[in-house]
């Protein structure tokens, strides 16, 4: 059975899409964003395609595209759309995918189901993206507890931002998960700088082994 890699975060807007794009490019996978909320400007799929230099065939269409920029449960209600979590599975693909959730672990997909519930059903390894700023220990450990309580397999954590060795060590040690590396803030942020940073800062060999 194909083992996909699932990306989630400790919050929204922390750089999860950037990491997902870099990993899809480096691991030679496809990319899939099941639910896109907000269609003004670049969507996450378009950002991933640009930053990962992913051809159209490696970026799968979203299952739901919601115009309202809000949590999926609310965006769907405003848009008059009914999301069926039980039907939310990757479409046929030529190989493994990097699958990106929306926002954080407990973001509601519907009024009854959060993304962590979906990850628990899928049972594919999850990469938690965590910023390194103030508050990250609390946010990261709470996110890990929510995943582990649902028996979601956690591949490890990718940190985003300036190095914070003590915070990173506390999170990975107390959370009992691997440190997969760190992606610094990139300026400029483009396909070349991202590819170099992923090669230098992320444990791609471990991710290959975890993905199987």
Catalytic residues: 33
Give the Å distances, CA to CA, from 134 to 70, 131, 184, 187, 209: 25, 9, 16, 21, 32
Distance between CA atoms of residues 160 and 139, nearest Å: 14
- Give the three-state DSSP class for 189: coil
Looking at the chain, the number of H-run helices and the number of E-run strands are 8, 9
Task: Say which residues have a Cβ less than 8 Å from residue 169's Cβ, sequence separation at least 6.
Answer: 179
Running DSSP on this structure, what letter comes out for residue 159?
E
């Amino acid at each position: 059975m194909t083992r996909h890699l699932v990306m989630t975060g400790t919050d929204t807007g922390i750089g999860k899409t950037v990491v997902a794009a870099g990993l899809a490019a480096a691991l030679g996978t496809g990319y899939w964003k099941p639910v896109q909320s907000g269609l003004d400007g670049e969507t996450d799929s378009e950002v991933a395609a640009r930053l990962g230099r992913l051809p159209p065939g490696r970026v799968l269409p979203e299952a739901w595209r919601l115009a309202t920029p809000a949590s999926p449960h609310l965006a769907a209600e405003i848009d008059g759309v009914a999301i069926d979590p039980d039907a939310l599975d990757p479409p046929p693909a030529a190989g493994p995918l990097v699958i990106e959730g929306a926002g954080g672990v407990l973001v509601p997909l519907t009024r009854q189901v959060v993304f962590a519930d979906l990850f628990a059903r899928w049972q594919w390894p999850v990469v938690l993206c965590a910023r390194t700023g103030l508050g990250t220990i609390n946010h990261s450990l709470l996110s890990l507890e929510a995943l582990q309580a649902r028996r979601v397999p956690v591949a490890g954590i990718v940190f985003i931002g300036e190095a914070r060795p003590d915070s990173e060590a506390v999170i990975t040690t107390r959370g009992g998960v691997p440190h997969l590396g760190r992606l610094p803030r990139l300026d400029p942020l483009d396909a070349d700088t991202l590819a170099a940073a992923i090669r230098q800062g992320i444990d791609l060999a471990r991710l290959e082994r975890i993905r199987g």
